[in-house]
Amino acid sequence: MKKLLVKSSVALTAAQKKKLESGIRERELSFKYVVEPIIGGIQIYDGERILDTSIATDLSKMKKHIDDFIFSLGEGVAVKDIPSLIKEKSAQFKDKEHDFEICGRVTSAADGVVRIEGLSSCKYGELVLVGNAGFALAMNLEENGIGAMLLGGTSSVSYGDIAYTTGKILEVPVGDEMLGRVIDPLGNPLDGRAPLKSLKTRRMEYPAPAIIDRAKVNQPLETGILAVDAMVPIGKGQRELLIGDRQTGKTAIALDAIINQRGKNVICVYVAIGQRSAAVKNLVKTLDEQGAMSYTTVVLSTASDTAPLKYIAPYTGAAIAENFMYAGRDVLIVYDDLSKHAEAYRTISLLLKRPAGREAFPGDVFYIHSKLLERAAKLADKLGGGSMTALPIIETQAGDISAYIPTNVISITDGQIYLSKELFNAGQRPAINVGLSVSRVGGSAQTKLMRKLSSKMRLEIAHYRELVVFAQFGSSLDPATRETIENGVRMEEAIRQPEGVPLDMLREEIYLFAIVNKALKKIPRGGVLKFLDAYYNYITATNPTIMKIIKETGDLDEDNAEILRHATEDFTAHYTMPDAE
């Protein structure tokens, strides 16, 4: 026997029920009557289709049509003309007759994931309107229904709620108005400031640029961190992974990179995935104090948010960054971190009853990260020449970079910066393990002078760290080994850098010149940074022409390099260590 669910704003009388039932010419029907706040009118649902004549739905549809119409007008419409246009749109809607619509019914809801029976015409990735709870994103298309992740809480979802297809996909607001703002993954402001008025939106998921639309990565993205810019350089359009255990300084490197873009015409997007609200609040405060929030957008999904919001957060950030990239601008985007993003997707997939694979992750967990990170690129000149540089962050457990998610992301990115827990605990900042860190773009993302100087330093530091390990097992060392270790100690001290104090490229190059030319040989370990600072000031004052050449060309010919070497020797010979404070 077929069942019909009848909803009305007030209880129907017996006469009204009899009249309704006699008007439906179909045998073997049973009727169930419920009262709901639909303002007026009636809804009849048979499990697959709905006849909806309620006033609540009329008002909702009218508002939606008017909102869509106003959005379609763009910015070129005079305010005085809007009332007449709305009236015209309302009249068009009023003439439409009620008809059956394809709909479904909620059968379960848990942790942001709902299952809906019906909706046979729904498409993958389509927005679905679920009762009074808002929108859900279709993720599973099944024979008798769909699985969808709810873009909000599940508290307002009830068994039996009606769900409708919308024919739309998820879009987020983009544009210059997003700069300086903290938003949630749906584009709603979280900073307590005025609501966003951006009329421009962009699809949350978008195809990555084709190979033919990309240009070679050959411009450095200056992080202001000497160890990074010298040994694992990052280029505009590159995807460089920051990987390491918890509390090893991954976010600090990303934060310094954002701060260092001040005045360099680079837009920044920081995506916090499953982070503590207090930690992100402190990060935003730091950016604000450093004057970096004026060119930065923060997309925040907190640890208490549902899994669907954590899942869509990086795609929201990518859409905001892409808008600037296709406008011909340079963008730096940080995903902090993709480990929690993978865990959120695992939660969604298990609730959707998808087959589990290694470590209970679904089989397409590699795909969700590759389609995200492939959107970072350096565009060809015909597309404006913009770039999007991605710094994804992955957290390892006990330094295990061979785990499932770390190996996946390593294989997608153009290199990784591995931060060692041992180096961090030993006081080295940043705690970069040179042996496990690599930039597959390499010298293409460095100035010529930086490339000449840094290659030698990287090899010497790697050699030094190997010797330190072996030196622990021997009581005596030959003079050559001892000299290598002493030189390595001073090199490590030279690349030690506190958080929030990025260096400009010229200062980094001058520091490197002193390091590579053995100017630190007689300097005590504790005085290395003071020596380098004094050395930079000396060269700036005594050789302004050479400084200008380096700044303008990024290179130094042999004649000028010889002049700089003599100046270095003179300074080193007469340098006196300042008194200890």
Tokens of 25: 């010419």
In sequence order, the 6+-apart residues with CB closer than 8 A to the CB of 575 are 523, 531, 534, 535
Q: What are phi and psi of 563, to 5 degrees?
A: -60, -45
Tokens of 67: 């909102």
Tokens of 203: 């699809």
CA separation for the pair 277, 186 (Å, rounded):
17
DSSP state for residue 362 in the 8-state scheme: B
CA separation for the pair 160, 104 (Å, rounded):
9
In sequence order, the 6+-apart residues with CB closer than 8 A to the CB of 34 are 5, 6, 7, 8
Tokens of 223: 């992080």
Tell me the CA distances in angstroms from 443 to 3, 448, 489, 512, one per residue in order.
Answer: 71, 8, 25, 15
Tokens of 81: 């003309």
SS3 3: strand
Going by their DSSP bridges, the two strands 171-173 and 201-203 should be labelled as antiparallel
Residue of 480, 433, 421 lying closest to 461 (CA atoms): 433
SS3 333: strand
Q: What residue has token string 């929690």?
A: 340
Contact of 273 with 310, CB cutoff 8 Å? yes
Which of 354, 440, 465, 507 is catalytic? The answer is: 440
Residue of 114, 228, 113 lying closest to 160 (CA atoms): 114
- The verdict on whether 440 is a catalytic residue reads yes
Q: What residue has token string 């729904």?
A: 122
DSSP state for residue 187 in the 8-state scheme: S
Catalytic residues, by residue number, are 440
